[in-house]
Amino acid sequence: MKKLISGWTLIKLYTILVYVWMFAPIVAVVILAFNPQQFGTFPMEGFSFKWFVKLSQNSTILDAFKNSLVLGSLTAIFATAIGVPAAMAFIRYEFRGKDFLNTMLIAPIMIPEVVLGVALLLFIRWLQQPKSFAMLLIGHVVLTLPYVLLIVQARLVGIKREYEEAALSLGASPFQTFKEITFPLLAPAIFAGMLFAFTISFDDVTATLFWATAQNQTVPVKIFSMLRTSISPEINALGAVMIVLTVSIPLAAGYVARRFARGNTP
């Protein structure tokens, strides 16, 4: 029995070490963002917000932020607009070729982004269209769609369709049923899908490097070009802002969604 306990302790210790390994670099970025030195390196000599101030005055980064926000939001809207009905079809209906189509729509996750990047660019070139924001948006929608499908389907499985049937049998019109029953039940799934699409779009680098023009650079692409010179404290500061933003938004959204779902689930 004594041996068993020590084995379990080792497993715990190992797990803790993996956590430390996973988060040490991320914590280092946040800490170094407050280092007032010219080079964003250890040792820390003091504590200052000066790189954040400098960041907020950098207009190209602010522009990139704006681009990323607009692109991410539009991607989220379009990807869920086409992804949620597809997920409904897969979960609520039986039809021929269902499994095949489902696999086909999700399989693009496995296609390297570089290949997707080349493919869409080549296609646009063949159509003799210039790179544009619309193309970047289309690309991001295709890129995020499989993830939206996965997430929304996983959530939809948990929603019983008996509720809708009950409403209909009690005399509600199809529209009433949708408005009163289906939509509120579906809302958390739609919300989760949108959040996921937004994050993936906001985060994407490789494919975006192929598709973006000088005018519609996103934050990660901007960071990538800043890295060409060297790692500066400003990059650490930008990294810290991004970490806090991208971690707190889904955590907060998850909390809101849970409350929202609890309030609506019969």
Q: Interface residues for other proteins in 8-37 (CB under 8 A)?
A: 8, 11-12, 14-15, 18-19, 21-26, 28-29, 32
- Rounded to the nearest whole angstrom, what is the least distance from the CB of residue 48 to other proteins in the complex? 17
Among 190, 217, 220, 237, indicate the residue that binds other proteins (CB under 8 A): 220
By the 10 Å C-beta count (0-12 exposed, 13-18 middle, 19+ buried), 23 is classed as: exposed
Indicate whether 263 belongs to the interface with other proteins (CB under 8 A). no
Binding mask 34-63 for other proteins (x = CB under 8 A): -----xxxxx--------------------
User: What is the spatial distance between Cα 61 and Cα 72, in angstroms, rounded to a whole number?
Assistant: 16
Confirm or reject binding of residue 246 to other proteins (CB under 8 A).
Answer: yes
Task: For other proteins, give the closer residue by CB, 165 or 265.
Answer: 165
Alpha-carbon gap, residue 20 to 185, rounded angstroms: 39
Q: Which is nearer to other proteins, 125 or 259 (CB)?
A: 125
**Cα end-to-end distance, the chain, whole Å:** 48
Is residue 227 near other proteins by the rule CB under 8 A? Answer: yes
Q: Pick from 58, 69, 250, 261 the residue near other proteins by CB under 8 A.
A: 250
Regarding 7 and contact with other proteins (CB under 8 A), the answer is yes
Of 75, 153, 177, 201, the one binding other proteins (CB under 8 A) is 153
Q: How far is the CB of 201 from other proteins (least distance, A)?
A: 12
Counting contacts by CB under 8 A, is residue 70 touching other proteins? no
**Binding of other proteins at residue 106 (CB under 8 A)?**
yes
Told to check if 183 binds other proteins by CB under 8 A, we report no
Contact between 149 and other proteins (CB under 8 A)? yes
Q: Does 165 bind other proteins (CB under 8 A)?
A: yes
Please report whether residue 223 would count as binding other proteins according to CB under 8 A.
Answer: yes
